[in-house]
A and B are shown apart, each in its own frame.
Chain A
Amino acid sequence: MEGVDPLFYAHFLFRRRRYTEAADVCSELLAKNPYDKAAWYLKTRCLTEDVRIDETELEEEGLAEVMLDENAVASVPRPGTSFSRPLTDSGSSRGIRPMSKSGRPVSGFARPGTQGARPSTMEAAVRTARSATSRPVTSASGRYVRLGTASMLSGDDGTFIDVSKLDLRKYAFRRGLARALVLYILHVLNDTGKAMELAAYATEAARFQDWWWKAILGFCYHRLNLFRDAEKQLKSSFKQTPSILACMLLAKVYIRMDQPQNAIQCYREGLEKFPDEPVLLAGIARVFEGIGDLTKSVEEYKKLLKVDSTNVEAIASLAADKFYGDQPEIALVFYRRLLQMGVESAELFNNLGLSCFQAQQYDMALGCFERALSMADDEAMSDIWYNIAFVGMSLGNVKLAREALVLAVTCDSTNGEAYNNLGVIEQRKGNSGDARGHYQTAIKVSPHIHEPHYNYALMSLEAGDLQQAYKQVNDALQLYSAHLPSQDLLKELKATLSQHAS
């Protein structure tokens, strides 16, 4: 690119999202003239955009926040008004729709936050953090710090901007530069305190009339877990100039404060100003899913799909709903649509395989599972083998099922469902010792599922260990109080015990 103005060239690269190259060009310009504001501005933008993630939709609570913070007002809220107590009796029951590792109904679309529930003890929390999920320790240190390290690599000649040496008050009056700078501080340097200082000066410089700075202030407060202050700033920003940014951030704040009703209200207000905004529609759907109101969630996803026909999240969620709603053929249509759109992952083929199997297209099912296995990582692999075992069991091929389950637990030793099924197979074969071992492992690795408790109780009853049976069936009922077979078993047990007593 000889003869082109370097600054123009840098802009050209920036527009094409070739940020590193653009930054290099700017660095050369700055080497010639360190006071070139345009180059300085562009380089700041490049470095920021290189590492920035749009956080308006992403919500990830760190372990520390989950364990140590009490942001929620109500400790025992009415079911369905809080994320910690989802509605239990709406949508499909637990017998039909399985739970994820955290004890929430499996969602069609994996987002940060959907896999992890609130662990009850610190020990459980730390253990799951290490093995199963990738929850950060705190939201303030976890993900952001990881991103922060990226900036250190880029600065081979030391960091680009040393914020501690800047006079932030001075920058607050340079509107364009200040905005680029605050984003750089937030996303690259990851110094929320400094960003806040700058934002505070800048809003003051704008005589508290600039919605963008208010939103950024709110964003900083949110990062620091100062939710009340964040709420105030974001509300004021939205009131002054409605923006999707402020609306999304405000809803995020409400979600962190465990006030789903307010979050929905906030999204709805946003939708009044920005009708049919897919991001807001998706937000509502997610909140409904979070409080366990799956029916309403599906409705919102349908609205979203009408607006944005290529929304992967909506398609996947609807597919999952149809699948568990006993309409595998329709689920198949949705999954095929995903395939058409070019989404290709082990999970998708796995789901396709299951849907095919349920729709009685057996030849397709095994093919899909094979494709899934070929592109799966360990965790997904375990689930795929589990599903193959399920197919095997349904077809009466116990040998295939057993082999597949053994492979499933080899891939992921915390797959409680696989252990449970393995136990059932061993019990059928008469190896009650092995079966008990499997049930016990299942209970230990997945304390949220009720099936191993029930199976264990059943086996203990047959073996005459009434006390164990009583204990296990009670545990099963505690996890899932509407489980009819457990209730019957308990009744039977009580009758037997009273007979023995008399």
Chain B
Amino acid sequence: MSAPSQLSTAFTLKLGFDVQPGCVAVGRLDGVHPCLVCAAPGGKVVVHSPHHAKGDVQHSKKRSDISVLRFNREVTRLCCGSLEASGASQQPDLVFVGSSDNLTAYDVVNNCDKFSVEAADGCSALCIGKLKDSDPLVFIGGTCSIYGYDADGNDQFWTVTGDDVTAMAVGPFTTGDAELVVGSEDFDIRSFNADAELLVEISERDAITQLIRLSGQRFAFSLANGTVGVFQSSTLLWSHKTKHQATALAAYDINFDGVPELAVGWADGRVDVFNPKTGDIITSQSMKAAIAGLAVADYRMEGKETLIAVSIDGRVCGFSIGMQRDQRHTAAPVVQEDLSARLRLLQQKKKDLQYRLSALSQQTAGTKRKQQQPSEQDHMIMATHITTELKAEDGKVILTIATSSGAPIRSVVLFADGLFEGESYVMHCAESAKSDITISLVPPRLEAFVIDAKVLVGPPTATKLGVCEVRVHVPKFASFHRADVPEPTGAVTFPLQAAQTDKVVAWVNKHFLLPSPVTGLVPPIGFASPSGSIYLVQHGNNLVIGADRGELASILLQSLTSEVKLKAAESAKSTFPSQLEELQDTLRSVSDLHAARQKLSVEIADQSNLAKSLLLRAEDYRMMGNFAMMRGTYLQLGDVNRDLIKAYNIRNSNYDELVRQLKALNQFISRTADLYVGKARTDLIASCRAAIKANDMDQLFNLLKSGATASPSSPSATDV
């Protein structure tokens, strides 16, 4: 058995700048030599280029390896890559710099912008990739929207998601073709194909923070609560939850088997390498400060890849593999891995057995000391069965736990990821021990949960307690209780085949908490909760989903269509009059805010010019020794400065408001699109994009009102 792969430090260096988390990339900026690119606070981008072209020798003596690019905007995301369609090997990489309102593609070697586009929705995720049948695009994710730009800065891709995009990756995920996999704030991982069609939607337990493609259809993700995991074509292979948050992910082949392992950088400075199949830690290293980013590149141009970790205090550490390089092909790696896995398994087993042995010996020692026969109480405890019952009540879910034998319950430990704050919920009832107990749960969002409950049973006097384990399934729409509700204002109507009625009924029975199962849809079924009421009814061959709010209806419809294949769902018709008013307000305020914003930035530019000239004039007076005038000028400068700050604050709040409204708009489009399925959904999104691009708010409003997917006939125009 050979030594396991180890990481050893290959080189370290200091950048001399703090590095922003998530803003680390490596690119061949001149087409040949790798350079490390990091973003520093204050809108700076630091480039470390250890190699120089041969003709550049006399300059390299004078130049340091580190150069600084100034973008004058706080950099939010950064990546390197080429958008040229031809796969020439010496294609220079561009640096893509995303800020809250702009994306710039910059050619470092020639000191020029390739393109610079406005990103009204901000830039919280950035990645480069090639979807099926298209040129490579750079994807930029912001508040609820994703844009894809080609090499000339034209947008070729657009879609909306449910919430702020936090991570993106490109690769074959569910199908064989490359897809855009998107993680967002609303805990969802979604996958889109080249036509921006939603392929799959996976819910996680917290906001997604990172997403990368490892190999094949294998993707790794990390969550805000410290979870790291790997998906293999939308099925979860493994996930681990830790105390620290993962701040960087990278695919790095540590054992030369051609399948990259998962390297994870943590907020406490550790760098771990995980086995992508099992989630075992292969090796670990650490740095002094939190990891800002990981990158994999042949950084020393020696023919093998190095794992580069950059910490937030600007230290760079290159790790290379300790194993000899020529061992690479000698041992059959599959056998090796198999052996080591078995060894690990056996060791685990040994530990378990030892633990059980020690527990048993303690127990026997205890029984020996007391020399007691099992009492009647114990018998009672042993015979106890737990029954649970769920009931929906006013937005809460009432969980009732009772013992069959009437034995009092001492305490209950509930464990469910994402349902409670901090995963678990413990309830003691030592004083008034009863045989049944009710707990009211408030599901934070509409999602199915699994609760693992441990019920400790025993009379108050007992020294030993029985532990009963029971698993409770909370359905997705558990917070809705059955009620007779008036017909809601909005509704989605679509045709339903007769054979499908039973399936819909089954779906209702599965996903709602009902006092008694429903059998048909003809007397309308109504549900109520604090967040709104819903209503299902069958009118002849049509199924009507009524809801006060469009988002509720869209969640219901998406859940229904995922289980019942509704062929005709594309021809759905929906009306939500109350929300259209809100939409109108949003559209109006967006255009108002746009206008105000332009005016404000002009004012600020004017003022800052004035401030600059005042500063120079004051300095001039100082050098001439005219202190009276100097004082006057500086006082004036102070006033201008105050005005500037005021104007800046106004602009800031204007901007925040604008972002909020745009988010609302994007979410509205997304929700409206969710009322449709398949091609109708994609078409609607595309038409909305065309309307936004043409700045045609009336068209957009009509689209969202009627959901008409007919292509708009208005003259196309470039945006402002």
Contacts and interface: CB of A to CB of B under 8 A. Distances in A.
A328 to B, nearest CB: 32
A65 B70 contact: no
Contacts of A76: 63, 67-68
Given A70-B72, A196-B602, A140 B717 contact: no
Contacts of A130: 620
A326 B298 CA distance: 50
A164 interface: no
Interface in B665-720: 695, 715, 717-720
A218 to B, nearest CB: 13
A293 interface: no
B375 interface: no
A192 B604 CA distance: 12
B582 interface: no
B623 A64 contact: no
B71 A73 contact: yes
Given A141-B609, A231-B116, A75 B616 contact: no
B63 A137 contact: no
Contacts of B610: 140-141
A68 B612 contact: yes
A251 to B, nearest CB: 12
A262 interface: yes
A226 B609 contact: no
A81 B616 contact: no
Q: Could you say which of B56, B616, B619, B715 has the most chain A C-beta atoms within 10 Å of its C-beta?
A: B616
Contacts of A258: 111
Contacts of B72: 70-71
A126 B605 contact: no
A203 to B, nearest CB: 7
Nearest to B605: A224
Q: Could you say which of A76, A125, A192, A204 has the most chain B C-beta atoms within 10 Å of its C-beta?
A: A76
Contact of A126 (B603, B612, B620, B695): B620
A256 to B, nearest CB: 13
A64 B611 CA distance: 9
A64 B111 contact: no
A126 B619 contact: yes
A352 to B, nearest CB: 39
A257 B602 CA distance: 19
B109 interface: yes
Given A208-B718, A208-B719, A64 B71 contact: no
A127 B603 CA distance: 30
A261 to B, nearest CB: 4
A376 interface: no
Interface in A56-80: 62-65, 67-79
Interface residues of A, number: 57
A197 interface: yes
Contact of B612 (A64, A192, A229): A64
Contacts of A74: 67-70, 108, 111
A130 B620 CA distance: 9
Given A192-B606, A259-B112, A64 B717 contact: no
A92 interface: no
Interface in B70-94: 70-72
A245 to B, nearest CB: 18
A203 B720 contact: yes
A440 interface: no
Contacts of A196: 598, 602
B113 A262 contact: yes
Nearest to B118: A232
A226 B616 contact: no
A17 interface: no
B493 interface: no
A228 B99 CA distance: 13
A224 B602 CA distance: 7
A161 B645 CA distance: 32
A209 interface: yes
Contact of A79 (B59, B608, B619, B623): B59
A127 B613 contact: no
Contacts of B605: 224-226
A82 interface: yes
Contacts of A254: 112
A75 B68 contact: yes
Contacts of A224: 602, 605-606, 609
A428 B116 CA distance: 61
A67 B616 contact: yes
A123 interface: yes
B111 A137 contact: no
A193 interface: yes
Contact of B616 (A77, A137, A231): A137
Interface string A200-234: 10011001110000000000000011101101100
Interface string B43-68: 00000000000001001000100011
Contact of B110 (A71, A137, A209, A261): A261
Nearest to A72: B70
B68 A123 contact: no
A228 B602 CA distance: 13
B599 interface: yes
A100 interface: no
A228 B102 contact: yes
A67 B112 CA distance: 22
Q: Could you say which of A62, A208, A228, A258 has the most chain B C-beta atoms within 10 Å of its C-beta?
A: A228
Contact of B70 (A62, A75, A129, A140): A75
Contact of B609 (A79, A140, A209, A240): A140
B370 to A, nearest CB: 79
Given A236-B718, A259-B112, A137 B69 contact: no
Interface string A231-253: 11000100010000000000000
B616 A63 contact: yes
A208 B613 contact: no
A259 B111 contact: yes
A122 interface: yes
A67 B617 CA distance: 13
Nearest to B695: A208
Contacts of B116: 228, 231-232
B115 to A, nearest CB: 9
A358 interface: no
A138 interface: yes
A260 B110 CA distance: 9
A214 to B, nearest CB: 9
Contacts of B617: 137
Interface in B11-64: 56, 59, 63
A195 B656 CA distance: 27
B362 to A, nearest CB: 68
A73 B112 CA distance: 8
B106 interface: yes
B615 interface: yes
A221 B107 CA distance: 24
B613 A138 contact: yes
B619 A122 contact: yes
A197 B599 contact: yes
B69 A75 contact: yes
A73 B59 contact: no
Given A82-B111, A208-B720, A127 B68 contact: no
Given A208-B695, A224-B606, A225-B609, 7 more contacts: A64-B609, A73-B71, A123-B623, A138-B616, A141-B613, A204-B720, A208-B718
The 7 closest A-B pairs by CB, nearest first: A64-B612, A81-B111, A224-B605, A140-B609, A261-B112, A262-B112, A77-B111
Interface of A: 62-65, 67-79, 81-82, 122-123, 125-127, 129-130, 137-138, 140-141, 192-193, 196-197, 200, 203-204, 207-209, 224-226, 228-229, 231-232, 236, 240, 254, 257-262, 265
24 contacts: A62-B613, A63-B616, A75-B69, A75-B70, A78-B59, A78-B109, A81-B111, A82-B111, A122-B616, A126-B623, A127-B623, A140-B613, A141-B609, A141-B613, A203-B720, A207-B717, A225-B608, A225-B609, A229-B601, A257-B113, A258-B111, A260-B112, A262-B112, A265-B112
